[in-house]
Amino acid sequence: MPVKYKYLISKRGDVVFSIACGIGAYFLYEHDHPREWTLKELMQRKAERVRTEGWFPESSK
């Protein structure tokens, strides 16, 4: 009887692999379809907003 594996790589490796594939796919898509802002710029803007306002600002509630 063949062994059935629950994970492709490992419990944590699957998560890292899927995130890396998703980021890579987004960068390839962004390369072919240029946007006004890059993913890096959007992440920097979000990080700056989180530093100043926090994760859940009062205006969003």
Angle in degrees, 0-180, between the axes of helices 11-32 and 39-53, rounded to the nearest 10: 120
DSSP label at residue 14: H
Count of residues in the chain: 61
> Taking the complete model, does pTM exceed 0.95, yes or no?
no
Residue 58, amino acid: E
Instruction: State the Cα–Cα distance between residues 13 and 11, nearest whole angstrom.
Output: 6
Whether residue 27 contacts residue 39, with contact meaning beta carbons closer than 8 Å, is answered with yes
13-32 per-position pLDDT tens digit: 888 999 999 999 988 888 88
The percentage of residues in the chain with a pLDDT greater than 70, rounded to a whole number, is 92
